A = this chain, B = another copy of it.
Amino acid sequence: MRGTACEAARETVCEGADGEEALDIFAQRCPSRVMFAELVDKWSMLILMSLAACGPQRFSELQRAVGGVSRKMLTQSLRTLERDGLVRRTVYPETPPRVVYGLLPLGAELAELLAPLGRWTEQHTEQMIAARKAFDQAHTDG
């Protein structure tokens, strides 16, 4: 509930001197907000969901699984996920090299929250498109 007073001082520097629990994604400069902004990235979320649904995958498998992702964005997103402790990168020194990405516990936890979001989107896409169409028609008389 974000505390008792929703309209209260939200400009708290997000980390009180003594009180804990001060991390707040609604606070502009809070580390939580920064992390949140990074996590709610299209590619990162799809990657996590794919790894959760299909298990560890190679780079090229992931690129095929996540439709439309470029090598650059895939690499970049995987790096960030690895850096934050969500994904583990394993290199098998063969020739040609084989690299496998898998979820760490932290990433698996997060992926469990993401899956419902993905399902919900698929199940309500038509409804939202219909709403959009209605909205656009109602505003045709501009």
Q: Given the known A-B contacts A40-B45, A117-B117, are A65 and B26 also in contact in the complex, defined by CB atoms under 8 Å?
A: yes
> Is residue A97 within 8 Å, beta carbon to beta carbon, of the partner chain?
no
Centre residue among A31, A66, A85, A116 by max chain B CB count within 10 A: A85
**Nearest CB of chain B from residue A118's CB, rounded to whole Å:** 5
Total number of A residues with any Cβ neighbor in B under 8 Å: 65
Counted per complex, copies of this chain come to 2
- A11 and B63 alpha carbons, distance in the complex (Å): 12
**Nearest CB of chain B from residue A126's CB, rounded to whole Å:** 8
- A28 and B68 alpha carbons, distance in the complex (Å): 5
Cβ-defined contact, B23 with A125, below 8 A: yes
Residues of A within 8 A of B (CB): 1-2, 6-7, 10-11, 23-33, 35-37, 39-42, 45-46, 49-50, 53-54, 61, 64-68, 82-86, 106, 109-110, 113-114, 116-118, 120-132, 134-136
